[in-house]
Structures are given as C-alpha cells and as structure tokens.
Amino acid sequence: MAEDKVKKSKEKGGEEEPKRAQRATSNVFAMFPQHQIQEFKEAFTMIDQNRDGFIDVEDLKDMYASLGREPTKAELQEMLKEAPGQLNFTAFLTLFGEKTHGTDPEGTIMDAFKMFDGENVGYLEEEYFKDLLMNVGDQYNQSEINQTWKELPLEGGRIDYVKFTKILKGSNTEDVA
C-alpha cells in the first residue's frame, strides 16, 4: 500500500517523500492523579499571563512582578532553559514529573524520618526538626526554613512526617488518618 502511494507520487512527477518519524505519545499525564494535573493546569494558567498557551520570559516577568519581585532577564531565561523547547502545558507537566519523580520514593523518605523518630510515633517535634534542617547535611538558612514551614503539617508543635512526605511526593494527604 505504501509502495502504491510512492508509485502514484512518482507518476505525477513528484519525488519519493521521506518517511516521517512516528510521534511518540507522552505518558506524562499518567504520572499524576487527575486532581494534581488540574492543579498544575491552574498554576500554568496563572503563569501564562498572555494566555497564548506558552510560558515565555515576558510571562515569567509579569508573574514575578505581580509578586513584587523583579528578576533579571538572565534569571528568567535560565528558568526557561530547563524546558527542551517552547514551554507549553505538556512540557510544563513533564518538567514537574521529572522533578517530583526524580526524588526518592515515598518509602525512602518515610524511612529517613523514622530514623529520627526514636519512639516511632509518626511525628517529630518542631524544634528538633528545625535544628536538624539547620545543622545537619545540606543546612537550611532561615529563609528556607520559613518556606518549608508554609507547607509543613504542623499541629501543637509537632510535624506529622507521614503527611509531610505525602505533600513532598504530591500524594493525596486525605488518605492519611
């Protein structure tokens, strides 16, 4: 059948067309639950200030301006370099997939927390956790601590590290008792 098309093309005086590569379908949408894809879509739409379906330097500049920040053009271009081409929603989702799935598995993160939970109660005291982050390993500064605390499931001076692990991995925290 393909040969017939080549023959017809040649009969019309045309040349044989080169074969086109089959487009690989992206499985990036299978990497996340539907509710999380919707959250990524909302974030993408907020960043895509001109609503053209792509995030570019101007979109990032406008978004940062709305947050009261003015990064340099070089900083904005550096952010976009992580994308292999134009940054549409699928590329945006792929970047997040690479970032979140490039981290340790949930069980590994949980085991790391358990090492510091001598009583195996599922939480760490806030001050103890803060001390660990600021003085052990890749030491956090106060700004990083403040940013982390915005997402931290903190209750009564205790950090629920099971919930925190799920937040880090983008899992559904509603399943946690």
CATH of the domain at 95: 1.10.238.10
**Predicted TM-score (pTM) of this structure:** 0.46
Residues 115 and 81 in one domain: no
Over residues 153-168, mean pLDDT: 90
Instruction: Indicate whether 25 pLDDT > 70.
Output: no
Give the residue from 47, 75, 100 where a domain finishes: 100
Helix segments in the chain, DSSP class H: 2-11, 34-47, 57-66, 73-80, 89-101, 106-115, 126-135, 142-151, 161-169
Taking alpha carbons only, the member of 78, 88, 76, 80 closest to residue 45 is: 88
pLDDT in tens, 32-42: 888 889 999 99
Residues 95 and 39 in one domain: yes
Residues 76 and 119 in one domain: no
Q: What's CA 18's distance to the chain center, in Å?
A: 37
99/56: higher pLDDT: 56
- 53 domain-assigned: yes
40-54, 74-88, 97-111, 114-128: least confidently modelled range: 97-111
Question: Tokens at residue 68, please?
Answer: 């009261």
Residues 111 and 94 in one domain: no
Instruction: Indicate whether 47 pLDDT > 80.
Output: yes
Structure confidence at residue 169 as a pLDDT band (50, 70, 90): confident
- 83 domain-assigned: yes
Instruction: Indicate whether 81 pLDDT > 90.
Output: no
Structure confidence at residue 102 as a pLDDT band (50, 70, 90): low
Q: How many domains does the chain have?
A: 2
Query: What's the confidence (pLDDT) of residue 124?
Result: 95
Give the residue from 100, 123, 143 where a domain finishes: 100
Give the residue from 44, 66, 100 where a domain finishes: 100
Query: What's the confidence (pLDDT) of residue 30?
Result: 79
Phi, psi of 134 (to 5 degrees): -90, -15
- 160 domain-assigned: yes
pLDDT in tens, 82-94: 887 889 998 888 8
> Domain range for residue 135?
106-169
- 25 domain-assigned: no
Residues 83 and 113 in one domain: no
